Amino acid sequence: MALIVPKFGGTSVGSAAAMQQVARIVQDMQKNGDQVVVVTSAMGKSPDPNDQIKVTDLLINSARSAAAGGDDYVRARHALALKHHNIIRSIVTDLADRDAISREVEALLAGFEALCGSLRVLGEITPRALDALSGLGERIAARILAGVFRSMGIAAESIDATEIVVTNDNFGTAMPLMTQTRDKTRARLLPLLAKGVVPVVTGFIGATEKGVPTTLGRGGSDYSASIVAAAVDADEVHNYTDVDGVLSTDPRIAPDAHTIEVLTAQEMAELSFYGATVLHPLTIAPLVKQRIPLRVKNTFNPAHPGTIIAYDRATGSANKQGAIKAVTAIDKVSMVTVSGSGLRGVAGIAGRTFTAVARTNTSVFMISQASAEQNICFVVPQASSERVREELSREFSREIANGEVDAVHADDEAAIVTAVGIGISETPGVSGQVFTKLGERGINILAIAQGSSECGISLLVRGSASKNAVRAIHELT
């Protein structure tokens, strides 16, 4: 008997049929004698072309628009009510259960409308208010999914992660406080498991020690599942999504992308950090210490083994593919350059540069320093580039006035393309093959960085060349 934490993403719970499929997957685990803790995202797109609502996106867009004076939230409330009540009506069979869930969903949606109304009056939105609103989709989905489970004979109870996942108050990208989270999660979930009840836990959200709701960041339900799994000492995490595991690249860019059988934790971290949206970049972190295996699988093709994330380097490299296993891209980044003859040999320029960047709360994706120390280049999200440029211009105002530093420059039309595979640093000639592939397609490389973790090589290219560069490197996987 194993304790498994399956996490279901937005499309996996996006329609009545999808939720029933999720219930069948859980039934199969139970038939196998396994105990199950489910983590769910908010409902995403349904296969029905008339229902393409992604609940979290709609909540966030409505809240932002309300703060800017819009009233789209009124229409959004109706659309959300329709989407969720349709499911409840069609697949929650017990009438009393159906009524109870409908009332709770109505109360949550009424709260959404009221809060958006206040934002409209205030004319602004704080990260704290946005977290309270954006997590509503998971609260609704968990209630409905638990109802669907009960209708299909699975004892289940929905749980708001605000009760069990304790986080800091970094609203929008909160981090878990693992000691408190472990205690609360065990106290709440283990008695349910002992009674044979499946807890259906909301992904994405948590709460501060004082109980104020937070979110873990977009795509954060993956991270939630790992946090809960570590807290209950699970044997496995199964991350169910809408493709057959982690693929060699984004299938929307290269439809011939194939499933990678085995990835090391390091490779997975590199891939998700550099743009593969299939897993939140922090998903692996809570699992590493206990070495809890993570599988990425397809809800709609559960017989496919998907991808397994291995902690042991030898297992991770033991597949037949070449040195490059996958390629990924981050679009809309900006290259910032601090340059000038005065930089040469002056101690502390790099330190001052990155301290100034840190003051703007920006994460740096990639750094490269040209030989003669005449310039420092680094890459930041496009949305932060102006803030970073201004801060650096202030930091170096004296040097700019003396002519020791040229003006700080930000180039806004770039993308980072990253090839990932632990073999890259061990196999001679891989970088050469990458450059040749790009050269053949006339793609210019603006900067190179090898190996934050020696299992990837990152290249900066023009934004317009991003997809082409991914396809070219993908030919090497």
Q: Is 242 in the site for ligand ADP (CB under 6 A)?
A: yes
User: In terms of CB distance, is 57 or 113 closer to ligand ASP?
Assistant: 57
| Distance of closest approach, residue 420 Cβ to ligand ADP, in angstroms | 9
Q: 136 is written with which tokens?
A: 């509503």
Q: Is 9 in the site for ligand ADP (CB under 6 A)?
A: yes
Report helix, strand or coil for 441: coil
Contact 143, 151 (CB under 8 A): no
| Distance of closest approach, residue 229 Cβ to Mg ion, in angstroms | 16
Among 156, 225, 246, 263, binds ligand ADP (CB under 6 A): 246
Q: How many CB atoms lie within 10 A of CB 354?
A: 14
CA angle 324, 326, 332 (to 5 degrees): 125
* Of residues 327-386, those binding ligand ADP (CB under 6 A): none
Q: Is 219 in the site for ligand ASP (CB under 6 A)?
A: yes
Q: 218 is written with which tokens?
A: 């977009």
The one-letter amino acid code at 63 reads: A
* Of residues 58-87, those binding ligand ADP (CB under 6 A): none
Place of tokens 């490779």: 267
Among 247, 330, 414, 430, binds ligand ADP (CB under 6 A): 247
Distance CA 140, CA 151 (A): 17
User: In terms of CB distance, is 116 or 278 closer to ligand ADP?
Assistant: 278
* Of residues 132-161, those binding ligand ASP (CB under 6 A): 137
Query: Which residues have C-beta within 8 Å of that of residue 103, sequence separation ≥ 6?
Result: none
Contact 206, 165 (CB under 8 A): yes
| Distance of closest approach, residue 220 Cβ to ligand ASP, in angstroms | 5
Report the DSSP beta bridge partners of residue 239. 7, 296
Place of tokens 């998903």: 283
User: In terms of CB distance, is 173 or 369 closer to ligand ASP?
Assistant: 173
User: In terms of CB distance, is 247 or 310 closer to ligand ADP?
Assistant: 247
Q: Is 41 in the site for ligand ASP (CB under 6 A)?
A: yes
Backbone CA torsion sign across 104, 110, 115, 119: positive
Among 243, 414, 438, 473, binds ligand ADP (CB under 6 A): 243
How many residues touch ligand ADP (CB under 6 A)? 20
Task: Report DSSP state, residue 259.
Answer: B
Name the nearest CA neighbour of 389 among 338, 349, 435, 446.
338
Choose the binding region for ligand ASP from 156-164, 218-226, 319-327, 362-370 (rule: CB under 6 A): 218-226
Name the nearest CA neighbour of 103 among 148, 143, 156, 157.
143
| Distance of closest approach, residue 13 Cβ to ligand ASP, in angstroms | 10
Report helix, strand or coil for 344: coil
Task: Report DSSP state, residue 463.
Answer: G
Enumerate binding residues for Mg ion (CB under 5 A): 9, 219
Distance CA 447, CA 25 (A): 46
Q: Is 234 in the site for ligand ASP (CB under 6 A)?
A: no
DSSP conformation letters of 385-409:
HHHHHHHHHHHTHHHHHHTSSPPPE
Question: Buried (b) or exposed (e) across 28-62, using 16+ Cβ within 10 A?
Answer: ebbeeebbbbbbbbbbbbbeeeeeebbbbbbbbeb
Binding partner of residue 272 among Mg ion, ligand ASP, ligand ADP, none, CB cut-off 5 to 8 Å per kind: none
Q: Is 214 in the site for ligand ASP (CB under 6 A)?
A: no
Task: Report DSSP state, residue 125.
Answer: -
Give the chain's end-to-end CA distance (angstroms, integer).
37
Q: Is 277 in the site for ligand ADP (CB under 6 A)?
A: yes
Binding partner of residue 105 among ligand ADP, ligand ASP, Mg ion, none, CB cut-off 5 to 8 Å per kind: none
User: In terms of CB distance, is 59 or 146 closer to ligand ASP?
Assistant: 59
Binding partner of residue 278 among ligand ADP, ligand ASP, Mg ion, none, CB cut-off 5 to 8 Å per kind: ligand ADP
Binding partner of residue 220 among ligand ADP, ligand ASP, Mg ion, none, CB cut-off 5 to 8 Å per kind: ligand ASP
| Distance of closest approach, residue 10 Cβ to ligand ADP, in angstroms | 4
Among 11, 56, 249, 328, binds ligand ASP (CB under 6 A): 56
Among 221, 334, 337, 466, binds ligand ASP (CB under 6 A): 221
Q: Is 203 in the site for ligand ASP (CB under 6 A)?
A: yes
Phi, psi of 467 (to 5 degrees): -65, -40
How many residues touch ligand ASP (CB under 6 A)? 13
Binding partner of residue 204 among ligand ASP, Mg ion, ligand ADP, none, CB cut-off 5 to 8 Å per kind: ligand ASP
Choose the binding region for ligand ADP from 9-17, 162-170, 308-316, 399-407 (rule: CB under 6 A): 9-17
The length of the chain is 477
Distance CA 299, CA 22 (A): 7
Binding footprint of ligand ASP on the chain (CB under 6 A): 9-10, 41-42, 56, 137, 203-204, 218-222
Binding footprint of ligand ADP on the chain (CB under 6 A): 9-12, 41, 44, 219, 241-243, 246-247, 249-252, 276-278, 326
